[in-house]
Homo-oligomer: A and B are copies of this chain.
Amino acid sequence: MSLVIVGSVAFDAIETPFGKTDKIVGGAATYISLAASRFVKQSKLVAVVGGDFPKQDIEMLRQHGVVTEGLQIKENEKTFFWSGKYHNDMNSRDTLVTELNVLGSFDPILPASYQDCEYLMLGNLSPDVQSSVIERLQKRPKLIVMDTMNFWMEIALPALQKTLTMVDVLSINDEEARQLSGEYSLVKAARKILSMGPRYLIIKKGEHGALLFHEDQVFFAPALPLEEVFDPTGAGDTFAGGFIGYLASTGDVSFNNMKRAIIHGSALASFCVEKFGTERLKEVSEQELDDRLQDFIELVQFEIKIKA
């Protein structure tokens, strides 16, 4: 089993009603790797940072079991930077700054040791970069999961459509599903999107949970009702990382196991939002994760006997 994760490693500056941060470590691949590394011994990172990226943060990733051989360091360039401010309801945010920097010319080079990839997680990046990773793998992975966002639907739809034909699972939010399909009903949206390539579709609904569609089957996982969402940044990537990490660790890509993977991803995401950035995610103990999984079971569990 080998899990390869492609995506951004970045600096974020975040403002929420509860406070603000200076530049802290963020980026889709950072959250995905940290979440996946709860379940797999080694997750192999493909990303790029500038010379300004702190060595101790790369070391931190390594200590969490992330293989950084595929992490390119462009010494004379700067790391991707994003800054955003959340509104009071935490469901919407304004982007204040986006500096692509090294990400603007990102060429995802795969070290030879990554060619054993069985599980591939394509974090949000340009669909051309995502498809080039698939093309550079000599053997097609057992499972390819892809995240994307509305930005690519607007400026790179043909490339996105091509990449969609190459993956197994697409993970997007409800707004993006509606935009990609042109359908308001998520059931109709799912049917259209499943005809575009992916065999599985995850629609993330933030505080309202997530839906998994496959053929005529649908599974719903709630989000845990929380007292407070402190910082939603990275929750979707944490979810995706937990999802593919759990699948990779169990080696089972059945629909039933994907349900479990979604619950594991949701549990990790529920920790992620409790503190700024990756802070909470890094410190979650095994006991805490087990307790939270138990919370999910109790949240939705009921017994009804249907007359035969």
The chain A residues found within 8 Å of chain B, CB to CB, are: 88-89, 184-188, 205, 208-209, 211, 217-222, 225-229, 256, 259-260, 263-264, 290, 293-294, 296-304, 306-307
When chains A and B are docked, how far (Å) is the Cα of A220 from the Cα of B188?
Answer: 24
Chain B residues with CB under 8 Å of A187's CB are 225-227
Q: Which 8 A-B pairs have the closest CB atoms?
A: A259-B302, A208-B208, A220-B222, A300-B300, A187-B227, A187-B225, A220-B299, A290-B306
When chains A and B are docked, how far (Å) is the Cα of A306 from the Cα of B288?
Answer: 12
Q: Residue among A300, A301, A306 with the most chain B CB within 10 A? A: A300
A225 close to B211 (CB less than 8 A): yes
The secondary-structure label for the interface of chain A is: mixed
When chains A and B are docked, how far (Å) is the Cα of A296 from the Cα of B303?
Answer: 11
A299 close to B218 (CB less than 8 A): yes
When chains A and B are docked, how far (Å) is the Cα of A299 from the Cα of B188?
Answer: 17
Asked if A219 meets B302 with Cβ closer than 8 Å, knowing A208-B208, A211-B225, the reply is: yes
Contact of A263 among B208, B226, B227, B302 (CB under 8 A): B302
Contact of A304 among B218, B228, B297 (CB under 8 A): B297
B293 close to A304 (CB less than 8 A): yes
A257 CB to closest chain B CB, in angstroms? 10
A260 close to B220 (CB less than 8 A): no
When chains A and B are docked, how far (Å) is the Cα of A188 from the Cα of B227?
Answer: 6
B220 close to A263 (CB less than 8 A): no
A90 CB to closest chain B CB, in angstroms? 8
